[in-house]
Structure 1
Amino acid sequence: DTLSQMEEAELLVDAASRLSEPFLLVIVGEFNSGKSTFINALLGRKYLQEGVVPTTNEITLLSYSEVDSESIERCERHPDGQFTCYLSAPILKEMNLVDTPGTNVILQRQQRLTEEYVPRADLILFVLSSDRPLTESEVGFLQYVQQWKKKVVFVLNKLDLYRNSDELEEATAFIKENARKLLNTEDVTLFPVSSRSALEVKLSYSNNNDREHHGEVLLSDPRWRSSKFYDLEHYLLSFLDGSTDNGKERVRLKLETPIGILFLVQTAML
């Protein structure tokens, strides 16, 4: 109908205008997958609440603030209903993160995420829990987002729950096999990590002001190496470096966003 065509056209204009904006990383996962701990580990501080009750009830854009603070600097709701929190985490200088409710909540009532943020995402990070990877709601969400042909990177969280490397290999093979079918792709990227360990290590060095050698200090800590978080961070940061293959892919992903939306608009109009 005319209204949906207008909405799709607006989405296309919006996506085109975002080509010059920071990389948009949308983080999804079922409630209790450790998503908040993962985001805190990525940011390097306990900005988000963690716990056994769902802590994220709405979509939240995490954006950079100059003010150095141990907590979220400020949160505000924009006139269009967008909820944005400003933090001083350095990684946000390069990319905006979108924190989301659990996939079980998204499919029920969070149309905004699936209709606005998934189409605009440059990369979707899907956080899975080691004790129950690929639940029914996670599979449902992947089936839903597949129409947008987005690049999805899987994070297998709570790595320390596996007793040995055989258990880990069995789990990663299971996830990759199913993800290939769900996303209709041979190229499945999966990072097993322990977000809790990574966060603990980062917090223990958070007062170290030697930013230049911060990475070397972390690498010297066996807890950091065993958390395997470095591989994932390195992968994400390589998207921001235009000279790397991932950096070139970042440009392609950004360009594909308006192109993909245009394709869907054209298809809908036929």
Structure 2
Amino acid sequence: METSDKHIILHNINLAKNLLTDMKKAGIIDDKQVGKLTSSLSDVYMNLSKPLIVTLVGPFSSGKTTFINAIIQERVLPERILPCTGMVCKIGYCDSHLKIQYLENGVKIKKEIRVDELRSFVDISDPAYRSRGIGDVLEIFHKNDFCAKDIVLVDTPGFNDPNFQDDMTNRALEKADAVIYCMSAIHAYSNTDVEKIKNLHQRKIDSIFYVVGFMDILHSNDSDTGSDEIVSFKKMITNKLASHTSLGEDGVFFVSAIDEFNKISKKTCILDDNGIEKVRIKLWKYLQDNRMPIKMKNARNHLSKIETRLEKKIKAELNSKKNEMSVYEKNIISNQRNKEDAKKCMEAISNSCAAYEEEVYSFVRVQIETELQNIMDNMDKWVDEVFDYTSIISLSMFKSGEIQEKIDVIQRRSAEKIQKTIRERIIPYINTSTNKLQADIQHLVEKYIIVVNLENNQSVSSVALHLNVKESPLYPSFSPLPLAATLVMLEKSAIGITALSFAPLVGILAALGLGMGLGIFQQKRIKRRMITSIKEQLQSYSLVSRYVNAIMDSIQWKDSISQITSSLSKSVVKCDKHIDLLKKERDALVIDINRITEIENEREHLFGSIN
């Protein structure tokens, strides 16, 4: 059974080492941690074959050292009423009478100690004593029956020793297989005892023997403390301590270690059941009979402690990865929202610009069309004002250049009318509409708050729209009516004079006035033809479209809008790239989380079978 249990422990330890390898691959622990944990696992198995470590603890001056001397039946360790044990002392077995050696930090043997030097190492009251490190140990090998079969006694500094911290004792308890807790009958089950016993249970140490010493002091005062009171005292303390050990009442002893040396016999009626010799035999028999169960339980306890460490590391890494995953998910959602907001913002800007352009275009076209119609309506009046037909007909030497000058007058009047409309109605309207567009776009950008979280935070802000109307290239002037076209106009007005198609304009007018003697009817007909020709010329140039297009092209707003939409477009692209990157990193995290979850399941299965 013993061999089988050890094989099970070894098998589980090997599985635990494999778990460490998996944890290292997953980045949960590093090489240094793997080394320490592997060493701890190996120590668990090796400890199964090592001597039983029985550690004595208790408040200072509780009789630990005296009890050890009584157990090994020789005063090897110095005894004092005041705090004296200044370091951890291990007492083991050897064939020679006595061998003492000093280990610094539990590893390196510094020197062998002579018996006469022993007090200077452990007794803090000795003038030659010097302070020891937490890991320093004094090993005493002594030929005694109690330690003969693989039992090592460990004496520790007392709890609440004003000269020492409890670190030495706590470190010694880490390797304890069983504990003998010593307390004085005078202060039995004090608050300090209750606190330290609770700590032993937290360490999962179940094999605890309670030794209530200095019973001889109570007995020596039997005039004040009768036998019945002592029996009641023992019963009360036994009831309190029995619940704190797996041995129950069998784990509670009342002794007077001094009796072992002073051979006090007159009080044996009280100490009979629990004299030192009987205590020694009970302790030794229990330890020998339960060696492997104690070792196995302690092995499981140590594995449980290792499991707790591994569980904390695994869960900490798992929680860290999950928190990291949450951050990635939030960033992905944030970037997706930014991307959608950027698209919505671009669409809203596009709609605003389209509405702006349509409204401005319609307004400008209506204004130009209205003004050109006014020009047409005033053409009769302007022709009458510019042309004097009576004087033209009576003029014998009418110059063709003068006709062109008069036509230029009509052209200038028309251009001035249109320019006035543009200046007084169209430009103010465009400025108002453009300012509104700028405000709308500013509002849209602020509404969507486009922020792209990349390596450096970048934000899209509205660029101020610089909307200026350039007057010089905006207004196309009327091109002078070509002379040939004017001749054609006049030719169409003449009756029977087609033969003079290429004659100078002055000659045509002279022929009309002198050769044929034109009357009022013919003059009016020429006027109508001239007006009609001018109107046809105006219409033939598509002046409405030309003016409207020129005005729309001259408004400098699209470059500013392009800067905003370009920034938004870049934001969309960057969001897409960032989302792709985040998703890749998130997917890698998912793999890590799944792997760590598998490791956690492996840990639960492994240590579940051990416990």
TM-score (norm 2): 0.36
Q: Which has the larger share of helix?
A: 2
Q: CA deviation at 1:40?
A: 0.7
Residue number in structure 2 paired with 1:137: 192
Give 1:254's match in structure 2, choosing from 280, 295, 312: 295
Letter in 1 for 2:291: R
Q: Is the 8 A contact 1:198 1:227 kept in 2?
A: no
Residue number in structure 1 paired with 2:138: 83
SS in 1 for 2:157: coil
Residue number in structure 2 paired with 1:49: 78
Counterpart-to-counterpart distance in 1, 2:33 and 2:238: 35
SS in 2 for 1:156: strand
Residue number in structure 2 paired with 1:208: none
Counterpart-to-counterpart distance in 1, 2:189 and 2:34: 34
Query: Following superposition of structure 1 onto structure 2, how do residues 74-153 of structure 1 map, counting pairs within 5 Å?
Result: 74-77=100-103, 78-79=107-108, 81-94=136-149, 95-105=151-161, 109-115=165-171, 117-150=172-205, 151-153=207-209
Letter in 1 for 2:174: P
SS in 1 for 2:248: coil
Identify if the C-alpha distance between structure 1 residues 200 and 5 changes in structure 2 by more than 3 Å, giving closer, same or farther.
farther
Residue number in structure 2 paired with 1:169: 231
Q: What whole-Å deviation, never above 9, does each CA across 1:58-109 have from its counterpart, x for those lacking one?
A: 111112232225xxx3232142633312222232222111000102249x73
Identify if the C-alpha distance between structure 1 residues 262 and 109 changes in structure 2 by more than 3 Å, giving closer, same or farther.
same
Give 2:69's match in structure 1, choosing from 40, 51, 70: 40
Q: Is the 8 A contact 1:195 1:227 kept in 2?
A: no
Give 2:255's match in structure 1, choosing from 185, 190, 193: 193
Q: CA deviation at 1:192?
A: 0.5
Residue number in structure 2 paired with 1:30: 59
Give 1:232's match in structure 2, choosing from 279, 282, 285: 279
Residue number in structure 2 paired with 1:157: 213
Counterpart-to-counterpart distance in 2, 1:44 and 1:105: 26
Q: CA deviation at 1:253?
A: 0.5
Q: Structure 1 stretches (4+) deviating beyond 3 angstroms?
A: 1-12, 176-181, 183-186, 221-227
Counterpart-to-counterpart distance in 2, 1:165 and 1:263: 46
Q: Is the 8 A contact 1:198 1:224 kept in 2?
A: no
Letter in 2 for 1:10: S
Q: CA deviation at 1:5?
A: 7.9
Larger Rg: 2
Q: Is the 8 A contact 1:27 1:100 kept in 2?
A: yes
Counterpart-to-counterpart distance in 1, 2:309 and 2:34: 8
Identify if the C-alpha distance between structure 1 residues 144 and 12 changes in structure 2 by more than 3 Å, giving closer, same or farther.
farther
Identity rate of aligned residues, in percent?
Answer: 20
Q: Is the 8 A contact 1:36 1:48 kept in 2?
A: yes
Q: CA deviation at 1:194?
A: 0.9
Q: Is the 8 A contact 2:92 2:139 kept in 1?
A: yes
Letter in 1 for 2:183: L
Identify if the C-alpha distance between structure 1 residues 9 and 112 changes in structure 2 by more than 3 Å, giving closer, same or farther.
farther
Q: CA deviation at 1:125?
A: 0.5
Residue number in structure 1 paired with 2:92: 63
Identify if the C-alpha distance between structure 1 residues 200 and 226 changes in structure 2 by more than 3 Å, giving closer, same or farther.
farther
Counterpart-to-counterpart distance in 2, 1:85 and 1:34: 19
Which has the higher mean CA deviation after the structures are superposed, 11-20 or 28-37?
A: 11-20
Q: What whole-Å deviation, never above 9, does each CA across 1:160-210 have from its counterpart, x for those lacking one?
A: 2233333333333443444356x48682520111100013349xxxxxxxx
Q: CA deviation at 1:56?
A: 0.7
Residue number in structure 2 paired with 1:11: 40
Identify if the C-alpha distance between structure 1 residues 250 and 167 changes in structure 2 by more than 3 Å, giving closer, same or farther.
farther
Identify if the C-alpha distance between structure 1 residues 227 and 260 changes in structure 2 by more than 3 Å, giving closer, same or farther.
closer
Identify if the C-alpha distance between structure 1 residues 46 and 227 changes in structure 2 by more than 3 Å, giving closer, same or farther.
farther
Identify if the C-alpha distance between structure 1 residues 5 and 170 changes in structure 2 by more than 3 Å, giving closer, same or farther.
farther
Q: CA deviation at 1:4?
A: 7.6
Letter in 2 for 1:187: G
Ranges in structure 2 where 5+ consecutive residues have no aligned partner: 1-27, 109-134, 312-611
Identify if the C-alpha distance between structure 1 residues 140 and 44 changes in structure 2 by more than 3 Å, giving closer, same or farther.
same
SS in 2 for 1:239: helix
SS in 1 for 2:187: coil
Identify if the C-alpha distance between structure 1 residues 56 and 6 changes in structure 2 by more than 3 Å, giving closer, same or farther.
farther
SS in 1 for 2:85: coil
Q: Is the 8 A contact 2:67 2:257 kept in 1?
A: yes
Counterpart-to-counterpart distance in 1, 2:101 and 2:80: 20
Identify if the C-alpha distance between structure 1 residues 226 and 152 changes in structure 2 by more than 3 Å, giving closer, same or farther.
closer
Q: CA deviation at 1:254?
A: 0.8
Letter in 2 for 1:49: P
Identify if the C-alpha distance between structure 1 residues 144 and 192 changes in structure 2 by more than 3 Å, giving closer, same or farther.
same
Q: Is the 8 A contact 1:197 1:223 kept in 2?
A: no
Give 1:269's match in structure 2, choosing from 298, 310, 335: 310
Q: What whole-Å deviation, never above 9, does each CA across 1:35-60 have from its counterpart, x for those lacking one?
A: 11111110111111111222211111
Counterpart-to-counterpart distance in 2, 1:186 and 1:43: 23
Q: CA deviation at 1:31?
A: 1.1
C-alpha RMSD over aligned residues: 3.2
Identify if the C-alpha distance between structure 1 residues 179 and 90 changes in structure 2 by more than 3 Å, giving closer, same or farther.
closer
Letter in 1 for 2:155: D
Identify if the C-alpha distance between structure 1 residues 33 and 17 changes in structure 2 by more than 3 Å, giving closer, same or farther.
same
